[in-house]
Chains A and B, each alone.
Chain A
Amino acid sequence: MFGNFQPHAAEYLRFLPEIVLCVFGIAVMMLEAVTNEKQKLSLGVISLIGIVAAFAANLWSHTDLGAAFQNMLVVDNYGIFFRGLVLVVGLLCVLASFSYLQREGAQTGEYYALILFSLVGQCILATASDLIMVFIGLEISSIATYILAGFLRDDPRNNESALKYFLLGSFATAFLLYGIAWVYGLAGSTNLDEIRRVLEQPQRMSIVAGLAAGLIFVGLAFKVSVAPFQMWAPDVYQGAAAPISAFMSAGPKAAAFAVFFRLFMTSFRPIDARWIPLVWGCALLSMIVGNFAALVQTNVKRLLGYSSIAHAGYILVALTAASSIGVSAAMFYLASYALMNIGAFVVISYIAARHERHVRIEDLAGLGYREPVTAALLAIFVFSLIGVPLTGGFFAKFYVFQAALDSHLIWLTVLGLINSAIAAYYYLKIIVAIYMREPGEAVAELPAPAASLRAAIWASAFGTLILGIFPSSLLSFVSISASSFR
Chain B
Amino acid sequence: MPHLPPVPLSWYLVLSAILFVLGVAGFLYRKSIITVFMSIELMLNAVNLSFVSFSYQLRRIDGHIYSFFVMVVAAAEAAVGLAIILTVFKNRGTLQIDEVDSMKR
Contacts and interface: CB of A to CB of B under 8 A. Distances in A.
A415 interface: no
A164 B69 CA distance: 24
A347 to B, nearest CB: 21
A478 to B, nearest CB: 32
Nearest to B50: A181
A59 to B, nearest CB: 31
Contacts of A297: 105
Contacts of B70: 135, 177
A388 interface: no
A139 B71 CA distance: 12
A387 to B, nearest CB: 27
A100 to B, nearest CB: 20
B51 A160 contact: no
A132 B27 CA distance: 25
A163 B84 contact: yes
Given A160-B103, A181-B47, A143 B40 contact: no
A103 interface: no
B81 to A, nearest CB: 5
Contacts, number: 108
Nearest to A236: B103
A225 to B, nearest CB: 16
A159 B87 contact: yes
B43 A185 contact: no
A146 interface: yes
Contact of B80 (A154, A157, A166, A181): A166
A126 to B, nearest CB: 19
Q: Which DSSP category, helix, strand, loop or mixed, fits chain A's interface? A: helix
A436 B28 CA distance: 46
Contacts of A170: 40, 77, 81
Contacts of B105: 297-299, 302
A190 B65 CA distance: 12
Interface string B8-20: 0000010000001
Contact of A156 (B13, B37, B102): B102
Interface residues of A, number: 41
Contact of A160 (B23, B46, B57, B88): B88
A159 B91 contact: yes
A164 B27 CA distance: 12
Contacts of B76: 139, 143
Interface string B26-57: 01000001001100100110110011001001
Contact of B84 (A132, A136, A150): A150
Contact of A143 (B13, B36, B80): B80
A174 interface: yes
A162 B33 CA distance: 13
A184 interface: yes
Contact of B63 (A146, A177, A184, A234): A184
B102 A163 contact: no
B1 to A, nearest CB: 32
Contacts of B62: 190
A184 B81 CA distance: 28
A238 interface: yes
B92 interface: yes
Interface in A417-467: none
B87 A188 contact: no
Interface of B: 13, 20, 23, 27, 33, 36-37, 40, 43-44, 46-47, 50-51, 54, 57-58, 60, 62-63, 66, 69-70, 73, 76-77, 80-81, 83-85, 87-88, 91-92, 100-103, 105
Given A170-B40, A178-B20, 12 more contacts: A132-B66, A146-B80, A146-B84, A153-B87, A157-B103, A159-B88, A163-B100, A166-B81, A174-B23, A185-B57, A298-B105, A302-B103
In the complex, the 5 A-B pairs of residues with the closest C-beta atoms, listed nearest first = A185-B54, A174-B43, A181-B50, A177-B47, A159-B88
